[in-house]
Amino acid sequence: MKGSLTKATARRTSPTKTAATKMVMIGWAIAQTIMIGTPAIAQTPRDPLSYSQLLKKIDAGEVTKVEIDEAQKVARVKLEGQKPNDPLVEVPLLERNPELIERLRANKVNFDSQPTADNSALMGIVANLLLFVLVIAGLLMILRRSTNSSGGPGQAMSFGKSRARFQMEAKTGVMFDDVAGIEEAKEELQEVVTFLKKPERFTAVGARIPKGVLLIGPPGTGKTLLAKAIAGEAGVPFFSISGSEFVEMFVGVGASRVRDLFKKAKENAPCIVFIDEIDAVGRQRGTGIGGGNDEREQTLNQLLTEMDGFEGNTGIIIIAATNRPDVLDSALLRPGRFDRQVQVDLPNYKGRLRILEVHARNKKLSSEVSLETVARRTPGFSGADLANLLNEAAILTARRRKDEITALEIDDAIDRITIGLTLTPLLDSKKKRLIAYHEIGHALLMTLLKNSDPLNKVTIIPRSGGIGGFAQQAFNEDMIDSGLYTRSWMTDRITMSLGGRAAEEEIFGESEVTAGASGDIRAVADLAREMVTRYGMSDLGLIALEGSSSGEVFLGRGLSPRSEYSEEVATQIDEQVRAIAMQCYAQARLLIRENRALVDRLVEMLLEQETIEGEQFRAIVADYCEVGQPANVVG
């Protein structure tokens, strides 16, 4: 795509560059012509003379007239017998020619010494000036045409002018019906549209519409889409600009653009001004590594003044979007500037279902595809992720030359987004068998542990990024949305995460364990430490020993979190974390050891099929338990 864009840009700009290049080449040709001069039309003499031959002819009396040009070091000679119309013979002279003058006087030859005017220096200066003027004219033409194509004449010199896109009647093509999954945010923003259309409904009871609305949420949740929907619904002048467009390399340009933006907005009030990614210009002042940035801080100061300064902005509603509210300046967030902050969170199950229904309108889905099932399988997906999911499924469908998107393409698209691209399956080898035991260890504990999330599928088909296989869970969405994780769930999750390493050690021995569990061990350490230091789920008691340290570098609060406990307590924390991990690991090894026959049976099936779905896996485990085998469910 990048190459095609480059070619397209070259095609757009080639006429301008070609015209300027032609002008420069013409000027260069003219200059060279002037400098070199037009040669005189002359006939080449039949017998050119040398300096010594000229002296001999003077002594012999064969020379009638000589014109000496000292400037060009040439003597023009007329010999006896030449016709009046014949050109004079040019003889090159030496640096000094005293003997020539003596010979001419001695032989009484008529001679004249008048140098011709040497205008070469003057012509060179004139030619260089002409070339310089032509080059400047060509550059100005290129600059003017490039600025015309990007927004009108004179834009290149208008650094302080606002670059906001303006629409008198915003036609974004997006309405509130096209925005799904964020109903609470839509309801709050609907009031903004209603105020712009029917302000008397609010002013009659003394209400004042918020001057600013800040949309906060993770990337891809639909903040910019909401702003487009507001513009499409309101039908009022709409200004849209990105926060990064205020900041330039020249100090003061951003503040000037802010003034120009609000000047235009006042002239078109009532209107909406949308600033996307406001954290690019609204970061806290005087913080961060190396101090503040003068240009950004001046721009922020001007923005604060324009939003709620000495002069009011009646009829102007500011809507901004960011996914980093923690770095914004407190003066920007106060009432009077951004009176209302709208949280645009990740959609829940119902929201994901509505989003899928919106994006599935122009997709050819097979009748077997259940959007409800897809919505349940995608907890934590944003609206952008769901749109990308259906698009990837459509691409896979076209690649496989199918007419409709089936459930297989949906499943493959989910795995591709969450895990990675599918690679060529491994050949039957020791490595493949080891991976199978590792993944069966995870999958079996997902099934046996009472408080663990159920298995979705287990596979040994490798994925990009060095993933040899994976055991995927179907997470409990209610727990994820609420964040109320129980101690039993955390303990079972640690045990399940160590199931792969436990299977390797039980089957192959301690000396044959691999580094494949490095990611699992790191996740176990993080979760166990949170249980000890943040959630009070250890023998240390109900003490919060560590807090969240995210964003401290950006907020200028240091490069590392401040230690909130002594070295003795740190040692106790490490001991508690290790005790939790070792206890869960012992339990994982016990379950693998007691169900060794079931593990071997599942591994053989996985090697044959390469993928086992969760329902089939649970059915095998249930059948094994019914015949009296020790597949004990721990809880």
> Where in the sequence numbering do the catalytic residues fall?
439
3-state helix, strand, coil in the chain (%, to 5): 50, 10, 35
Closest CA to 303 of 340, 329, 272: 329
Order across the sheet with 212-216: list the strands. 165-167, 238-242, 271-276, 316-322, 212-216, 340-343
420-426 CB contacts, 8 Å cutoff, 24+ apart:
420/463, 420/464, 420/465, 420/467, 421/463, 421/464, 422/461, 422/462, 422/463, 423/461, 423/462, 423/463, 423/464, 424/462, 425/460, 425/461, 425/462, 425/610, 426/460, 426/462, 426/468
* β-pair partners for 63: 79
Please give the Cα distance from 222 to 217 (Å, whole number): 9
Rg of the chain over Cα atoms, rounded to whole angstroms, equals 42
Please give the Cα distance from 418 to 272 (Å, whole number): 38
> First vs last Cα of the chain: how many Å apart?
54
How far lies 302's CA from each of 14, 66, 293, in Å? Answer: 40, 84, 14
Please give the Cα distance from 406 to 396 (Å, whole number): 10
Query: Which ranges in 465-566 belong to alpha helices (H)?
Result: 477-482, 487-497, 499-508, 518-533
What are the φ/ψ torsions at residue 586 (nearest 5 degrees)?
A: -65, -40
